[in-house]
């Protein structure tokens, strides 16, 4: 597999020992990162295909980590979990306090 990018277009050359089916372009179509996928060229024997696709430009307010995950959504999810834990701890403290206070008179 070889690939290169020119502006917002990415070109992928795939080589195989068996003929490559044109329907393999679906793998790029199904990705959220690409638009407008098409076959640029195909060797006469069908063992080499060059495909192209437009790369969707996405902007991330907090950026991404080293694996490309959005940090804003991860931060919001962590905040939601922290709030849930804090509220649960507060409810448990109130329940224990009410039971202890009722027992004390």
**Is the per-residue pLDDT at 8 higher than 90?**
no
19, burial (CB in 10 Å: exposed 0-12, middle 13-18, buried 19+): exposed
**Alpha-carbon span 56 to 43, nearest angstrom:** 28
Question: What's the rounded mean pLDDT across residues 77-105?
Answer: 96
What confidence tier does 1 reach under pLDDT thresholds 50, 70, 90? low
One domain, residues 18 and 37: yes
**pLDDT(88) > 90:** yes
pLDDT beyond 90 at 5: no
Same domain, yes or no, for 1 and 50?
A: yes
- pTM of this prediction? 0.53
Dihedrals phi, psi of 100, to nearest 5 degrees: -65, -40
Query: Which residues are bridge partners to 42 per DSSP?
Result: 49
76 plus 28 within the same structural domain:
no
Pair 65, 53 in one domain = no
Residues 35 and 53 in one domain: yes
Find the length of the chain: 105
Q: Are residues 39 and 18 in the same domain?
A: yes
Number of domains in the chain: 2
pLDDT in tens, 20-59: 888 888 887 888 788 888 999 999 998 999 999 988 877 8
Q: List the structure tokens of 92.
A: 């448990």
CA–CA separation, 79 vs 77, rounded Å? 5
Question: Domain range for residue 20?
Answer: 1-58
């Amino acid at each position: 597999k070889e690939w290169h990018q020119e502006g917002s277009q990415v070109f992928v050359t795939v080589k195989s020992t068996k003929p490559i089916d044109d329907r393999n372009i679906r793998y790029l179509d199904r990705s959220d990162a690409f638009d407008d996928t098409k076959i640029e060229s195909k060797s006469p024997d069908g063992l080499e295909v060059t495909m192209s696709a437009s790369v969707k430009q996405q902007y991330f307010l907090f950026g991404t980590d080293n694996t490309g995950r959005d940090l804003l959504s991860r931060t919001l999810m962590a905040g939601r979990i922290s709030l849930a834990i804090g509220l649960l701890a507060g409810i448990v403290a109130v329940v224990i306090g009410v039971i202890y206070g009722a027992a004390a008179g």
